[in-house]
């Protein structure tokens, strides 16, 4: 490990669990705001006087904010101490969510959702680095997974609870609640995450170097493609089970809860597998996703079997800690940029999976075909992973030959 990482590790090792709790709470607030809008579309559309499909612009705007904010903030804040950066990101996130609740019109709401998305990737990236630096190198993925539990808990509890409150008291309540949790996170980070000095030699140029590192790009490619299958299924899971399996709409919340439970299980199991053997865990998780999502095509014809497979699809979140750990290994001096881009990649996967699945449904294929789309994306992730390994071997072999011949 780098000397800078060792310094961070010694400064955080005294109370890593409290620090992880504070960081996970931030993930809970981010996950809640990301997913709650899907359950409040009707209320937002009525209050802001637009068609329900138009609210999709707010969802896309948030995702665009994540993709733009991750590299931008990582580069501009390269020299900012990590604790200070985390507090700043949470304060900005809190203010933008509170402002979303008081947006005067639809397009101002869409713009504020874009602003809310800007801190998303950078926060998770920096939080993962802080958590991983506080534990032995053989436990990094598990530390990252504990921070990521905030996101999984948001899927299981935060978003459904905020949706219920928003539909009962007004959609604005959901965003006010998220803003309040983000403010609490900033306070707890200030209290529980020890001061961490800026990394020696950190600069925007050094962080941007991650964008040209071959192993970083291949790893991000695995996340962009391989992770998309989860969202291909999840984005349409309720209409799939109601239209094709005949599930009662009253069971819809149960299906979402089962998905949330699956993400928690996958997060914990995947992290342990990544700590044991990272380069075996990544393709194994992708193969699991391929099989489970492919079988969803059949399971979606039956209510209870379909609900079970919704949970199994959710376990694919196991890829998250593994990819984050891999990026830490290959990013060299551009750790913050690479870690932040991981969540931009996952949001790209979200958009890609939902878009491709939507196309298949619009073309007249069965709703359960979303599972086949997911399986195809998992297969694509596997292909990119092995192409990356091959390129890495070729580069290593070439470097060895050059060193033997004395060629620079």
194 by Cβ neighbours in 10 Å (0-12 / 13-18 / 19+) ranks as middle
First to last CA, the chain: 26
Non-local CB neighbours of 19 within 8 Å, separated by 6+ positions: 12, 130, 131, 134, 192, 193, 194
CATH of domain 1-202: 1.20.1250.20
Point out the least confidently predicted range of 57-61, 69-73, 136-140.
57-61
Contact status, residue 121 vs residue 66, Cβ threshold 8 Å = yes
* Residue 201: per-residue pLDDT: 65
Q: What percent of the chain has pLDDT over 70?
A: 92
Nearest alpha carbon to residue 280 among 239, 325, 236? 325
Band of the pLDDT at 172, cuts 50, 70, 90? Answer: very high
In this predicted structure, the answer to whether residue 174 has a pLDDT above a threshold of 50 is: yes
Point out the least confidently predicted range of 82-86, 162-166, 206-210.
206-210
Domain 1-202 matches domain 210-408 at the CATH topology level? yes
* Residue 311: per-residue pLDDT: 95
Sequence ranges of the domains in the chain: 1-202, 210-408
Contact status, residue 391 vs residue 214, Cβ threshold 8 Å = yes
* Residue 158: per-residue pLDDT: 92
Q: Tens of pLDDT along 392-407? A: 888 778 767 666 666 5
d(CA 234, CA 231) in angstroms, rounded, equals 5
What is the CATH T-level fold of the domain 210-408, as seen in this structure?
Growth Hormone; Chain: A; (1.20.1250)
Q: Tens of pLDDT along 80-101? A: 899 999 999 999 999 999 999 9
* Residue 200: per-residue pLDDT: 67
């Amino acid at each position: 490990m780098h000397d800078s990482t060792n310094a961070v590790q010694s400064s955080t090792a005294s109370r890593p669990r409290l620090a992880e709790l504070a960081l996970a709470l931030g993930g809970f607030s981010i996950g809640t705001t990301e997913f709650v809008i899907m359950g409040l579309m009707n209320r937002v559309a009525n209050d802001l006087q637009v068609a329900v499909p138009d609210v999709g612009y707010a969802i896309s705007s948030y995702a665009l904010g994540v993709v733009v904010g991750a590299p931008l903030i990582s580069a501009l804040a390269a020299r900012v101490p990590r604790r200070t950066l985390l507090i700043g990101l949470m304060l900005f996130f809190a203010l933008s969510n509170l402002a979303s609740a008081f947006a005067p019109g639809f397009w101002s709401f869409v713009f504020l959702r874009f602003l809310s998305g800007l801190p998303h990737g950078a926060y998770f990236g920096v939080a993962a680095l802080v958590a991983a630096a506080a534990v032995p190198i053989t436990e990094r993925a598990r530390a990252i997974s504990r921070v990521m539990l905030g996101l999984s808990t948001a899927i299981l509890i935060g978003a459904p609870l905020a949706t219920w409150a928003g539909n009962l008291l007004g959609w604005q309540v959901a965003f006010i609640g998220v803003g309040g949790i983000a403010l609490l996170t900033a306070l707890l980070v200030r209290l529980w995450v020890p001061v961490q000095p800026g990394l020696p030699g950190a600069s925007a140029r050094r962080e941007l170097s991650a964008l040209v590192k071959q192993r970083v790009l291949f790893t991000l490619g695995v996340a962009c493609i391989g992770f998309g299958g989860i969202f291909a299924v999840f984005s349409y899971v309720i209409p799939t089970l109601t239209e094709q399996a005949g599930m009662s709409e009253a069971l819809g919340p149960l299906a979402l809860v089962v998905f949330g439970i699956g993400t928690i299980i996958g997060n914990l199991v995947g992290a342990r597998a990544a700590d044991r053997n990272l380069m075996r865990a990544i393709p194994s998780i992708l193969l699991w996703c391929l099989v489970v999502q492919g079988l969803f095509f059949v399971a979606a014809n039956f209510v209870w079997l379909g609900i079970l497979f919704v949970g199994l699809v959710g376990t694919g979140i196991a890829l998250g800690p593994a990819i984050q750990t891999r990026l830490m290994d290959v990013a060299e001096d551009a750790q913050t940029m690479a870690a932040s881009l991981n969540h931009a990649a996952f949001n790209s996967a979200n958009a890609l999976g939902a878009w491709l699945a939507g196309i298949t449904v619009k073309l007249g294929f069965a709703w359960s075909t979303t599972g086949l789309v997911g399986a195809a994306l998992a297969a694509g992730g596997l292909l990119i992973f092995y192409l990356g390994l091959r390129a890495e071997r070729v580069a290593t072999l070439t470097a060895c030959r050059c060193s033997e011949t004395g060629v620079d």
